[in-house]
Amino acid sequence: MVKAGIAGMGFMGWIHYLAYQRCDNVQLTAFCTRDEAKLNGDWTSIKGNFGPAGEVVDVSDLNTYSDLDELIGDPEIDLIDICLPPALHVDVAVAALNAGKHVLIEKPMALSTSECDEIVAAAQANDKQALVAHVLPFFPEHMYLRGLVDSGEYGALLGGHFERVISDPLWLKDFWDMEKVGGPLVDLHVHDAHLIRVLFGMPNAVSTNGRMRGDVVEYFNSQFLFDDPSLVVSATSGVLRQQGRSFMHGYEVHFEQATVQFRSAFHVDEADISSLKIIDSQEQVIRPDLGDADEVSAFVLEISEAANAIESGNASALLGGDLARDAIELCHAQAISAAGGEAVMIDN
């Protein structure tokens, strides 16, 4: 069984901790944090924009570290799960890989393509896996979509539109700092950039119209351009300064014989979640039953996928570092396009 240690016990570290409790093929044996209260199991200060709030946790069966080098040096650990701020990802990932550990890096993989390339190179040099925790493909509505693509039930993909919009994340320190977190493109839209890369391959170019907050793209529309001009793929993402709607995401994906729609939004008064719908060429509207997965279930599948990749020695088709690196390249190309007002070519 794969044994893991979490580096960083903030909101994502907490969500990953909950997921490890439900995984059958990986065991959490350690964690690292500089917070004395958290080292002793008091995680009540942890809060995020979804899922349960932090609790008091029994950590007596876990190795606890306040120093990252000690966590990385733990001989029992196979996998370092990096849940630290994005600016720290590259240094910790490379150090862990050089120490002979696999890594699972919370998205974004890093803040630049050069940093992503450094991580991929370290993984290759040490014959270890650099996995990136892009959880979106593991949510039920996205798993169902991927199943339709793989099966070819409704014919070939024709394109789609993807949305991901949040209110101003006042709770997230340094969100607008491109050297620490990366702003709406790198920290938020990267989910959909990764999904677009998985579903459609790497575009040849991007064209983005964006509203700026200083030098940072605040809100934008992007068109992704492919060899096949009839493949129409676009995305809308960013921040709107209306705190009454904390989060909204969704997609509309077109096949030759059907359109698949999903959209959900979380308002201060209630959630507005539209069930997944398939509108087919036979004038039917199909509403598949996606089950009753909770907010942690997708992370259980994500971490299990990482453990399977490590145990089998086979690269993950969804969590691979090369895919995550491409998503970061797309985000930066979109930022350049928005700032310059012209399409930007992608060097495939």
Q: What is the pLDDT of residues 317-330, one digit of tens each?
A: 999 999 999 999 99
Q: Which two tokens stand for residue 121?
A: 């190179």
**Do residues 37 and 31 lie in contact, with contact meaning Cβ atoms separated by under 8 Å?**
no
Q: Indicate yes or no: pTM above 0.75.
A: yes
Q: How many CA atoms lie within 13 A of 82 on its CB side?
A: 31
Radius of gyration, alpha carbons of the chain = 20
Q: Which two tokens stand for residue 341?
A: 């007002």
- Could you give the C-alpha distances from 183 to 41, 195, 239, 269, 300, in angstroms and in order? 31, 19, 9, 27, 27
Nearest to 200, CA basis, from 179, 168, 228: 228
Domain annotation for the chain: domains and CATH numbers: 2-134+299-318 (3.40.50.720), 137-292+328-345 (3.30.360.10)
* Residue-level pLDDT at 49: 67
* Residue-level pLDDT at 52: 80
Q: Residue 140: is the preceding peptide bond cis (ω within 30°)?
A: no
State the amino acid at position 49 in one-letter form: N
Give helix 190-200 / helix 140-151 axis angle, nearest 10°.
Answer: 20
- Could you give the C-alpha distances from 209 to 121, 194, 215, 229, 247, in angstroms and in order? 34, 20, 14, 19, 21
* Residue-level pLDDT at 274: 77
CA 309 to chain CA centroid, nearest Å? 17
* Residue-level pLDDT at 122: 98
Q: For residues 39 and 168, what is the distance between their CA atoms, to the nearest angstrom? A: 31
Q: Which residues pair with 28 in a beta bridge?
A: 4
pLDDT digits (tens, 9 = 90+) for 61-109: 999 999 999 999 999 999 999 999 999 999 999 999 999 999 999 999 9
Q: For residues 330 and 204, what is the distance between their CA atoms, to the nearest angstrom? A: 10
Question: Other CB atoms closer than 10 Å to residue 185's CB: what's the count?
Answer: 28
Nearest to 164, CA basis, from 143, 144, 194, 138: 194
Nearest to 16, CA basis, from 253, 303, 284, 294: 303
Per-residue pLDDT of the chain (348 residues; tens, 9 = 90+): 999 999 999 999 999 999 999 999 999 999 999 999 999 999 999 877 677 888 899 999 999 999 999 999 999 999 999 999 999 999 999 999 999 999 999 999 999 999 999 999 999 999 999 999 999 999 999 999 999 999 999 999 999 999 999 999 987 889 999 999 999 999 999 999 999 999 999 999 999 999 999 999 999 999 999 999 999 999 999 999 999 888 999 999 999 999 999 999 888 887 777 789 999 999 999 999 998 878 899 999 999 999 999 999 999 999 999 999 999 999 999 999 999 999 999 987
DSSP letter, residue 145: H
